[in-house]
Amino acid sequence: MNYRFENFINLASANKQAFESSIESVRSELDSMVSSNTARAVPSPAKTGWLKGSLSYPWVIVCSLVPSLKDMF
């Protein structure tokens, strides 16, 4: 077998082993994070006092009402 081809195969094998070890370390880190029972507080979103969802922004209501009012008058 050609020396360059053997070198290419050995290099690919080494890269594969390095990749598998890095995947295994990431997997173990994720498992340890998931298994920990610490609950993290998530801040609640700011409330505007308007409707929920996308209509909570006044510009949405204004942009939807102004054209209809313009057509009426």
The residue whose two tokens read 């050995």 is: 10
Sketch the domain layout of the chain as residue ranges.
Answer: 3-36+48-72
Residue of 22 and 55 predicted with greater confidence = 22
Q: Name residue 31's amino acid.
A: D
Task: Specify whether the CB–CB gap between 61 and 55 falls below 8 A.
Answer: yes
Tokens of 50: 């308007």
pLDDT of residue 62: 76
Instruction: State the DSSP code for 48.
Output: -
Q: pLDDT tens for residues 14-39?
A: 999 999 999 999 999 988 887 776 66
Q: Are 57 and 64 in contact (CB under 8 A)?
A: no
Residue 54's pLDDT is 61
Backbone CA torsion sign across 47, 49, 54, 59: negative
Say whether pLDDT at 49 is over 80: no
Residues 57-73: pLDDT tens digits?
Answer: 677 677 777 888 777 77
